[in-house]
Amino acid sequence: MYSRGVVYKFWSSRSLTARIVALTTLLLTLGLSLSATVMIGLLQRHLVAQVDDELSSTVLSLSSKVIETPQELAKEPSLPTLYYLNIHRDTEEDVTLLSASTRDHAGKPLVPELLKPGESANTTSGWTDPITVESTKKGSMWRAVIVPITRKGETTPSGTLTVALPLNDVQFTIQNMAGYVATTAIAIIAIGTGLATYLVRRALSPLRDIETTAGEIAAGDLTQRVPFAPPSTEVGSLSKSLNSMLSQLEQSFAAREESERKIRRFVSDASHELRTPLAAISGYCELYSMGGVPSERTGEVMGRIRSESTRMSSLVEDLLTLARLDEGRPLEIVDVDVIAMLRNARFDLSALDPTRQVEIESFDSQELPQSVWIQADRDRLQQVLTNIIGNIVRYTPRSSPVEIAVAQRPSNVLIEFRDHGPGIAKEDFEKVFQRFYRTENSRARSLGGSGLGLSIVSSIVSAHGGHAELAKTPGGGLTVRITMPIVQSKDRINTQPDA
């Protein structure tokens, strides 16, 4: 178990190039070894079969003769001197024929007693099948066949004739072939290992580019991208995924930096806005505690403290509203009649300025519908209308007319509040939805504005999946255009009331 852990740890610590090359070399070695073994085995089988054919043809040529002594066989002109011949009878001494040159070259075969005198082998011919036997000379082998023999005038076998041929030539051919194959295999493995190393390093070179890019990204440069590669390759697919991830990371970091910048600006603006009422309240309190306020002006001082306190409370409430919207608290979605809410808004506007003419009309000179139902948070939508009405009263002249237009589309409702005041510059149309932005700071502060009204309007409408924008009123003035979806998506519908 410990050795397996060491091997696994060693293998895991190697580079990908080293592991691929090692596996390639191993597979190449196994393949060549298997093919060489099969090839040499087939060659050996073929050569031994040739020797068996020679033995069979020789024995067949001798089978028609009545063999009495090996000397008779020696007179055969077709009999090679490589043969080993042995006649064995129970009543006589064995007679052997083997040339001295063959004995020196291959030794003498050690043939076991496979067939006794007077017996025949259990084959069609009565011979034994060719077998491989050892030799008196170390490293040499023989191929032998045992044949039953008869005497003149007899039909019953009285002995056995052993015929054998040395396998030295076969062994020599096999050994030479094995040497050639081994040398060729080693050369092929060496060349294959070198070529595999080159090809693997070249194929994995894009990974080094990825490593370089990763180092630059780690240094803080999120604009870097991995070099392009064909998406059909593994490296190309990895490069595509990494580039997609890097783009998302860059966007996430940019969004985080932008969010931090907005938070810092928001905190700074909020602190600035709260400083004025706090300073006024603190100053009046110190003045009163020091006895610097005459009794006849006590009511006036208390009124100023109350006014600044109310202003600060309103500002804190607006900030809390924006914080809740930023937090993404779910809305309490109910069915709301837009026409009824606009009529209430007209009544509120007329109550604030009885001299002002307020009309509710339909777009494109169509008849105003009796009701237009949408899914929305009633309280939030009421806050949107209240903020818009407050801006109209605060920044437009008294008695100036206001038109409220509404139109129902297939998927949304369009609402416009058109005033005929001084309006604002076109370049400020988008900026006024930013928090604490005011086109005229001194005038806006003197009129009680904090620069959060339209920010709240935009945030609430966006939370509903709608859109708020400004436009110029024909003939002069400012138009606030609100687009609200009729049906809310499921992720905005709140099943529980807001805590």
Q: Are residues 237 and 336 in the same domain?
A: no
Q: Are residues 247 and 338 in the same domain?
A: no
Residue 46 lies in a domain: no
- What pLDDT does 495 receive? 41
- What pLDDT does 419 receive? 92
Mean pLDDT, to the nearest integer, of 4-17? 76
Number of domains in the chain: 3
Residue 409 lies in a domain: yes
Summarize pLDDT for 329-384 with one digit per residue, the tens. Answer: 778 889 999 999 999 999 988 888 888 899 998 887 778 888 889 999 898 899 89
Residue 365 lies in a domain: yes
Helix (H) or strand (E) holding 334: strand 333-337
Q: Are residues 333 and 270 in the same domain?
A: no
Q: Are residues 333 and 458 in the same domain?
A: yes
Q: How confident is the model at residue 443 (pLDDT cuts 50, 70, 90)?
A: very low
- Is the confidence at residue 417, as pLDDT, over 90? yes
Domain range for 122: 65-168
Q: Are residues 253 and 343 in the same domain?
A: no
Residues 6+ apart with CB under 8 A from 336: 373, 374, 375, 376, 378, 381
Residue 129 lies in a domain: yes
Find which of 69-73, 262-266, 342-346 is predicted with most confidence, using mean pLDDT: 342-346
Q: How confident is the model at residue 440 (pLDDT cuts 50, 70, 90)?
A: low
Summarize pLDDT for 129-169 with one digit per residue, the tens. Answer: 888 899 888 888 999 988 887 776 666 777 788 889 998 88
Is 483:409 a contact under the CB 8 Å cutoff?
Answer: no
What CATH number did the domain enclosing 112 receive? 3.30.450
- Mean pLDDT for the chain overall: 80
Q: Are residues 267 and 341 in the same domain?
A: no
- In terms of phi and psi (left: phi > 0; alpha: psi -120 to 50; beta: otherwise), the region of 17 is alpha
- 418 by Cβ neighbours in 10 Å (0-12 / 13-18 / 19+) ranks as buried
Q: Are residues 266 and 342 in the same domain?
A: no
Residue 451 lies in a domain: yes
Q: Are residues 266 and 376 in the same domain?
A: no
Q: Are residues 247 and 134 in the same domain?
A: no
Q: Are residues 404 and 480 in the same domain?
A: yes
Residue 442 lies in a domain: yes
Q: Are residues 332 and 462 in the same domain?
A: yes
Q: Are residues 270 and 354 in the same domain?
A: no
Mean pLDDT, to the nearest integer, of 461-487? 90
Residue 208 lies in a domain: no
Summarize pLDDT for 217-252 with one digit per residue, the tens. Answer: 777 777 777 777 777 777 777 777 877 887 888 888
- What pLDDT does 38 receive? 93
- What pLDDT does 337 receive? 92
**Pairing, β 141-149 against β 131-134:** antiparallel
- Is the confidence at residue 432, as pLDDT, over 80? yes
- What string of DSSP letters covers 190-201? HHHHHHHHHHHH
- What pLDDT does 225 receive? 75
What CATH number did the domain enclosing 382 receive? 3.30.565.10
Give the SS3 label for residue 497: coil
Summarize pLDDT for 269-316 with one digit per residue, the tens. Answer: 666 666 767 777 787 787 777 776 677 777 777 777 777 777 777 777
Residue 301 lies in a domain: no
- The shares of helix, strand and coil residues in the chain, as percent rounded to the nearest 5, are 55, 15, 30
